[in-house]
Amino acid sequence: MTTYHLEIRVRPRPGLLDPEGTAVHHALDSLGFPGLSEVRIGKIIDIAVDAESESEAVDLVEAMCRKLLANPITEDFTIVHRTDPALAGGAS
């Protein structure tokens, strides 16, 4: 088995209300950052999963997203394979 480091990016579906994004948009504008056309707030989930192949790892994580990690009615998700595990935690 190989450990695969996957990043899940969950975002609100286009056209749906995003109250948190709207609040951040207004706050940024009031802090002197005008010209923003839209702010959407999502989440990033890093997962390390042991699997026989990358496709098996992605299939497993897709199932996790559909059952728990993303709301299929209001959110879309993408899965990115991180070849460097240090990158999975983000920039420092």
Which pLDDT tens digit goes with each residue over 13-22?
998 989 999 9
Mean pLDDT, rounded, for 22-35: 95
Sheet hosting strand 43-51, strand order edge to edge: 43-51, 2-12, 75-82
Which pLDDT tens digit goes with each residue over 34-92?
899 999 999 999 999 999 999 999 999 999 999 999 999 999 999 998 876 565 455 43
* pTM for this entry: 0.79
Domains of the chain: 2-85 (3.30.1280.10)
Residue matched to tokens 């948009």: 25
